[in-house]
Amino acid sequence: MGTAEPQVAAETSQLTDGFQLVIDALKLNGLDTVYALPGIPITDLTRRAQAEGLRVLSFRHEQNAGYAASIAGFLTQKPGICLTVSAPGFLNGLNALAHATTNCFPMILISGSSEREIVDLQQGDYEELDQLAIAKPLAKAAYRVLHAEDIGIGVARAIRAAVSGRPGGVYLDLPAKLFAQSIDAEAARKTLIKVVDPAPKQIPASDAVRRALDLLKAAKRPLIILGKGAAYAQADADIRTLVEKTGIPYLPMSMAKGLLPDTHEQCASAARSFVLPGADVVMLIGARLNWLLSHGKGKTWGGKGHKDWGGQKFIQVDISPQEADSNVRIDAPVVGDIGSCVSAFLNEMKTGWAKPPAEWLSAIQEKKKGNIAKMAETLAKDPSPMNFHSALNVVRDIVKANPDAILVNEGANALDFTRSIVDMYKPRKRIDVGTWGIMGIGMGYCVAAAVATKQQVIAIEGDSAFGFSGMEVETICRYDLPVCIVVMNNNGVYKGTDVNPRGGDVAPTVFVKGARYDKIAEAFGGVGMHATTPAQLRKAMEEAIRSRKPTLINAVIDETAGTESGRITSLNPTAGKKK
Ligand code: ADP
Ligand code: TPW
Ligand code: MG
């Protein structure tokens, strides 16, 4: 610098850097929470984000941070942000990214990465990995930003990709060098984008709406199936009006429970095995005909053989035009966002609607009555040791008394029994293993549910399921979150009774017997409780909810209770062979 003048100009012009621009871009778009695990090259990003007022939740393992981000996306319709270091941290987070894509949850995995020139020549950089290439097949979209002035575009693209159309997981690769790049602050500010209308409405075509309603009107035994897409859409009042106005019985998929209260008279959950094969026209709203619905065919649907069509006609309401005909013929696809589709149905139905034939409705009521009475009898028993039913009878009462609490649920028997026994009363209050039936979502979901909704969280966890994310109890205690974890402790995967015929090591499904999971909470200053009876469990849960303190209840369950794989024993090839 030869003269004094340019020096002065350089001093007065303000500089910013890559770290700051990432934070500014997130903030500008209302993304105020980050689920993270610090380390090179993102340590300062977590610090500075916190200093700038973002909520930075620091985890013990990236997988749990990722699951937290994914479910935050489901609960809020804003992409959940997970932030990790390069290679191993990225790979730990990748599981959750794939999970988000599979479940149609909006999420952005932001990972720091190593130096491009070295990675591409495979010269062995610190934590070298071609992350972008690896993320691509598992993400809805994947982007890399190389220059600070492109951070605004990169974040904007990631947001749009995550929440528009069918939501999913997006990967954003930010190389270490990017963070330190300096750039004129005023020029940089102009590169940031506040995304306008990130998830535009998609209005269904009127002929598609009419086609669907004509089919539904002509049905003798109609059924509506609500999936987690319907829960995600936040069109709760219109969905309820549609169900009530048509008078059609409905089945909620697991995470759609509570969209209407499970105790609603049109809820057909307690007659599931009657309504699926019995229905002649089925309207799917935000639910796919995947394995969870036996692919829309086979014996579940009244088909003669394993893969035979049961004869139903299907209406499918979905934002993805590719979803229709994925498993069976869809006679009336309605493509659009659920809010717009349901309101189009309601508009078109203004002329009046006749309830379904009384025979169908009364047959369902009959079945429901029988099954509910049978269940009530089982729930009333008080066996010793406590079993899933007597423990879940307590959880059922607690959830009824606290309908705003969010229920997190994973395990095999611990999952299936909870889903069928514990009624939900409000939308988006039940979050669980989702489309893949994965173990490990538990504690990450607890953190995100508590942080994103500020509500009490109740987690019902199989002892195996809990183990996948158990260390995050420290995270829950650190942030003093109102989470009550109940570990259904039956000494193992499915049950604790397997024996190794050769002696020596215990069987692969068996854990340390009589383990005291409650001590884990105590280790971090939380409340640990040990419950061997329903009365003790009730008292412990009531106290946890009253105090809103992080609590872990070790609920001792009869190790002989339950079945292998819970309700999906038939999917297990070994179990199949035994028959
Ligand atoms: P479930 O497991 O509850 O049956 P799925 O995850 O299989 O639910 O299906 C959810 C479906 O909802 C997906 O096909 C997805 O495209 C769709 N979906 C998600 N959000 C919306 C929305 N806002 N409008 C319409 N469809 C949606
Ligand atoms: C990531 C396979 C399905 S269910 C389960 C496992 C290991 C645990 C069942 O035992 P738990 O429940 O939780 O004690 P309970 O009540 O029946 O005793 N790895 C992943 N996901 C899955 N689904 C598995 C393994 C599995
Ligand atoms: Mg178990």
- Which pLDDT score, from 0 to 100, does residue 11 have? 54
Q: Nearest Cα to 139, choosing from 95, 176, 185, 188?
A: 95
Phi and psi angles of residue 531, each rounded to the nearest 5 degrees, phi first: -125, 125
Q: Is the Cβ–Cβ distance between 102 and 73 less than 8 Å?
A: no
- Which pLDDT score, from 0 to 100, does residue 12 have? 63
Q: Is the CB of 73 under 6 A from ligand 1?
A: no
Say whether the peptide bond before residue 204 is cis (omega within 30 degrees of 0): no
What radius of gyration do the chain's Cα atoms show? 26
Mark the residues whose beta carbon lies below 5 A from ion ligand 3. Answer: 462-464, 490
Contacts of 107 (CB under 8 A, 6+ apart): 66, 69, 70, 72, 73, 79, 80, 81, 82, 96, 97, 100, 162, 168, 169, 170
Return the HEC string of 49-89. Answer: HHHCCCEEEECCCHHHHHHHHHHHHHHHCCCEEEEECCHHH
How far is the C-alpha of 268 from the C-alpha of 290, rounded, in Å?
Answer: 20
- Which pLDDT score, from 0 to 100, does residue 347 have? 97
Q: What ligand 2 atom has the least distance to the C-alpha of 496?
A: 18
DSSP for 157-197, written as a single string = HHHHHHHSSS--EEEEEEEHHHHH-EEEHHHHHHH----SS
Contacts of 574 (CB under 8 A, 6+ apart): none
Lookup: tokens for 440: 């490990």
How far is the C-alpha of 308 from the C-alpha of 373, rounded, in Å?
Answer: 33
Counting every residue written for the chain, the total comes to: 579
Phi and psi angles of residue 521, each rounded to the nearest 5 degrees, phi first: -65, -40
User: Tens-digit pLDDT profile for the chain (579 aa)?
Assistant: 344 454 544 556 799 999 999 999 999 999 999 999 999 999 999 999 999 999 999 999 999 999 999 999 999 999 999 999 999 999 999 999 999 999 999 999 999 999 999 999 999 999 999 999 999 999 999 999 999 999 999 999 999 999 999 999 999 999 999 999 999 999 999 999 999 999 999 999 999 999 999 999 999 999 999 999 999 999 999 999 999 999 999 999 999 999 999 999 999 999 999 999 999 999 999 999 999 999 999 999 999 998 999 999 999 999 999 999 999 999 999 999 999 999 999 999 987 899 999 999 999 999 999 999 999 999 999 999 999 999 999 999 999 999 999 999 999 999 999 999 999 999 999 999 999 999 999 999 999 999 999 999 999 999 999 999 999 999 999 999 999 999 999 999 998 999 999 999 999 999 999 999 999 999 999 999 999 999 999 999 999 999 999 999 999 999 999 888 888 888 888 765 544
This prediction has a pTM of: 0.96
Which amino acid belongs to residue 51?
Answer: A
Collapsed DSSP state (helix, strand, coil) of residue 318: strand
- Which pLDDT score, from 0 to 100, does residue 187 have? 97
Q: Nearest Cα to 133, choosing from 87, 68, 176, 89?
A: 87
Q: Nearest Cα to 469, choosing from 99, 208, 187?
A: 99
Cα 284 to averaged position of ligand 1 atoms, centre (Å):
10
- Which pLDDT score, from 0 to 100, does residue 8 have? 47
Ligand nearest to the CA of 318: 1
Q: Is the Cβ–Cβ distance between 174 and 111 less than 8 Å?
A: yes
Cα 142 to averaged position of ligand 1 atoms, centre (Å):
21
For residue 400, CA distances in Å to 413, 429, 537, 543, 559 come to 21, 12, 16, 16, 27
For residue 406, CA distances in Å to 139, 425, 460, 549 come to 27, 11, 11, 15
**56-65: string of b/e by CB count within 10 Å (b at 16+)?**
bbbbbbbbbb
Testing ligand 1's pocket by substitution, the residue of 319, 327, 409, 424 carrying the most ligand atoms inside 8 A of its CB is 319
